[in-house]
Chains A and B, each alone.
Chain A
Amino acid sequence: NAGVTQTPKFQVLKTGQSMTLQCAQDMNHNSMYWYRQDPGMGLRLIYYSASEGTTDKGEVPNGYNVSRLNKREFSLRLESAAPSQTSVYFCASTQAGVGDIQYFGAGTRLSVL
């Protein structure tokens, strides 16, 4: 049971380049999330998908787009990367509702030069 799988693990981009971060879960969870982690700022929600076919903005959505491809997969796209998007990105999933455990992937470490 792999849980939440993120690819790639590391990525270096030049300013203006685009890329897509991939996330897949094998726990049949309804809800999925994308967070970014920066030093001293904890985890901040970028976008989430409450269920297949729906997506909503989180706390810091600017510069990002998402796609809930199916129940298993939730991707995050940077259309034109900026140095301010240098961060560690985590995908998470949960069954649904308040009080359900969120399971996290191992993260993608992104540097934008």
Chain B
Amino acid sequence: GENVEQHPSTLSVQEGDSAVIKCTYSDSASNYFPWYKQELGKGPQLIIDIRSNVGEKKDQRIAVTLNKTAKHFSLHITETQPEDSAVYFCAATPHGTSYGKLTFGQGTILTVHP
């Protein structure tokens, strides 16, 4: 099955700096890559996603890039703010599923210091 590795496990930045989280996946047939943000005591919430026919997608201060050849994708957050502090998860669809099954990375705890 699909395997998703996420790095780093923790990331600490100063307010205003950029943050980058990287994920690699194993199944070359995976075609959908969402990123979720989980705030303390809450469930994960989608913040951005990318499909395999697109190399980059941007939404205000967040962007995701995808390299299908290398089988990795990354989340970029610019001009970080304290409210960006949370746990971030990447995910990928396993091959052969048509029911939205996702394989998640291990998560990155992002801390933005004021």
**Given the known A-B contacts A42-B6, A42-B89, are A97 and B42 also in contact in the complex, defined by CB atoms under 8 Å?**
no
Q: Is the interface of A mostly helix, strand, loop or mixed?
A: loop
**Given the known A-B contacts A99-B32, A99-B49, are A45 and B44 also in contact in the complex, defined by CB atoms under 8 Å?**
no
A94 at the interface (CB under 8 A from B): yes
**Given the known A-B contacts A105-B43, A106-B41, are A43 and B104 also in contact in the complex, defined by CB atoms under 8 Å?**
yes
Query: Of A42, A97, A107, which one neighbours B99 at CB under 8 angstroms?
Result: A97
- In Å, the complex CA distance between A29 and B107 comes to 26
Specify which chain B residues have a CB less than 8 angstroms from the CB of A107 in the assembled complex: 41-43
A4 at the interface (CB under 8 A from B): yes
A74 at the interface (CB under 8 A from B): no
A71 at the interface (CB under 8 A from B): no
A96 at the interface (CB under 8 A from B): yes
Query: Of A50, A98, A99, A106, which one neighbours B42 at CB under 8 angstroms?
Result: A106
- In Å, the complex CA distance between A6 and B12 comes to 32
Q: How many A residues have CB within 8 A of the partner chain?
A: 28
Specify which chain B residues have a CB less than 8 angstroms from the CB of A106 in the assembled complex: 41-43
Query: Of A31, A42, A104, which one neighbours B106 at CB under 8 angstroms?
Result: A42
Q: How many B residues have CB within 8 A of the partner chain?
A: 29
Task: Please give the residue numbers on chain B whose beta carbons come within 8 Å of chain A beta carbons, in ascending order.
Answer: 1, 4, 6, 9, 31-32, 34, 36, 41-46, 49, 51, 89, 93, 97-107
Specify which chain B residues have a CB less than 8 angstroms from the CB of A97 in the assembled complex: 98-100
**Is there contact, CB below 8 Å, between B34 and A101?**
yes
Nearest CB on B from A6, distance (A) = 8
- In Å, the complex CA distance between A4 and B31 comes to 26
Specify which chain A residues have a CB less than 8 angstroms from the CB of B9 in the assembled complex: 40
Specify which chain B residues have a CB less than 8 angstroms from the CB of A102 in the assembled complex: 34, 46, 100, 102
